Amino acid sequence: QLQLVESGGGLVQPGGSLRLSCAASGFALEYYAIGWFRQAPGKEREGVSCMKMSNGRTNYAHSVKGRFTISRDNAKNTVSLQMNSLKPEDTGVYYCAASTTLCGGASLYDYWGQGTQVTVSS
């Protein structure tokens, strides 16, 4: 059974850091494009970052570029999102997702995790 599980969310002060992890079972993430998305209450789900298959090129939303870093650990079959210099507007539920095709909008992703809450607040 294909499964993605996010972890690492929590409450952090503005300017702080969190590292989210997405663990896969049932398939090898290295052969998928992996995206991170987030959704705040009342807002649309938005793409945060994506890494192409085989540790390829990465994409970042303008709002997080320079602060967030996506990475793979193929040995552990995980993908991480290092989140630095966090801002209140980064608050939301963060999801990892796997695409059998390419990075893009949410409709391109076949498998999704359950989400992990990130709250940036003083």
- The string of pLDDT tens digits covering residues 11-39 is 999 999 999 999 999 989 888 999 999 99
Query: What distances in angstroms separate CA 122 from CA 12, 42, 86, 109, one per listed residue?
Result: 8, 21, 11, 34
- Give the closest residue to 79 by CA, choosing from 104, 43, 48, 107: 48
pLDDT at 54: 66
pLDDT at 90: 97
How far is the C-alpha of 90 from the C-alpha of 64, rounded, in Å? 9
How far is the C-alpha of 15 from the C-alpha of 6, rounded, in Å? 22
How far is the C-alpha of 52 from the C-alpha of 103, rounded, in Å? 6
How far is the C-alpha of 105 from the C-alpha of 85, rounded, in Å? 25
List the chain pLDDT tens, one digit each, 122 residues.
Answer: 789 999 999 999 999 999 999 999 998 988 899 999 999 989 999 999 999 986 678 999 999 999 999 999 989 999 999 999 999 999 999 999 999 888 989 999 999 999 999 999 99
Grouping H, G, I as helix, E, B as strand and the rest as coil, residue 81 is: strand
Query: What distances in angstroms separate CA 8 from CA 24, 61, 81, 88, 102, one per listed residue?
Result: 15, 20, 9, 17, 25
